Amino acid sequence: MVEQVERELGAIDILVNSAGAARRTPPEDLTPAHWRAAMDAKYFSYVNVIDPVVKRMAKRGHGVIVNVIGNGGKVAASTHIAGGAANAALMLATAGLATAYAAQGVRIVGVNPGLTEPERVAEGLLAESKLGGISAAEARQRAIARIPMGRMATPEEIANAVVFLASGKASYITGVTVTMDGSMAPVVV
């Protein structure tokens, strides 16, 4: 795919990885297959593209990779254990690759959205409702109540951060993952 894109459109200067999340699964339903599926859905779908692209960027001496990861890699949730592990692995890969390729002019950063309005949040809320014995509407209300900003992020807000991090205005930002969760999990890093 990378070779075809570069052959048809030219060199890839910016790569944004934004795969859907791994399925949210209550802990008693987790199996090794769920863990593998989570890593395939998130971690390996990114790594399979990052690997050839980062090497090409390094040879050219410039490039930016932005990984949209997810806050589940920093803050454990009982219904997102396997997916959270994939997200944590991506955060480590983001920091490690950024360090490895910084001297060659490649920046690699991550964005960790918290709850965001697209439909996939509904699946997570269904898992939360099953685990808590409450309705999906109640699970949504409780989730929003835990966000100090009082609402979920919009996809546009996440996209704006990605555009900024990929731009020259963020030229000295690399090796970090920016959390965007409305201060739901305030931590100092």
Average pLDDT score over residue span 151-155: 89
185 within a domain of the structure (yes/no): no
**pTM of the full predicted structure?**
0.87
Query: Would you place residue 120 in the very low, low, confident or very high pLDDT band (cuts 50, 70, 90)?
Result: low
72 within a domain of the structure (yes/no): yes
Residue 167 sits in a domain whose CATH number is 3.40.50.720
92 within a domain of the structure (yes/no): yes
Q: Give the domain range for residue 23.
A: 2-180
- How many structural domains are present in the chain? 1
120 or 147, which is more confident? 147
144 within a domain of the structure (yes/no): yes
188 within a domain of the structure (yes/no): no
186 within a domain of the structure (yes/no): no
Q: How does pLDDT run across 38-80, given as a tens digit for each residue?
A: 999 999 999 999 999 999 999 999 999 999 998 888 888 888 8
Q: Which of 17, 88, 85 is nearest to 52 (CA)?
A: 17
Q: What percent of the chain has a predicted confidence (pLDDT) above 90?
A: 61
- Cβ-in-10-Å burial (0-12, 13-18, 19+) of 170 comes to middle
Q: Which of 106, 91, 86, 102 is nearest to 11 (CA)?
A: 106
pLDDT of amino acid 129:
77
pLDDT of amino acid 56:
98
What three-state secondary structure class fits 66?
A: strand
189 within a domain of the structure (yes/no): no
67 within a domain of the structure (yes/no): yes
Tokens 């790569």 belong to residue: 15
Task: Please write down the HEC assignment for all residues of 139-156.
Answer: HHHHHHHCCCCCCCECHH
Which residues neighbour 164 within 8 Å (Cβ) at sequence distance 6 or greater?
Answer: 170
Cβ atoms of residues 139 and 95 within 8 Å: no
Starting from the edge strand earliest in sequence, which strands make up the sheet with 63-68, in order? 14-17, 63-68, 106-113, 177-180
Q: How does pLDDT run across 130-145, given as a tens digit for each residue?
A: 777 888 888 888 888 8
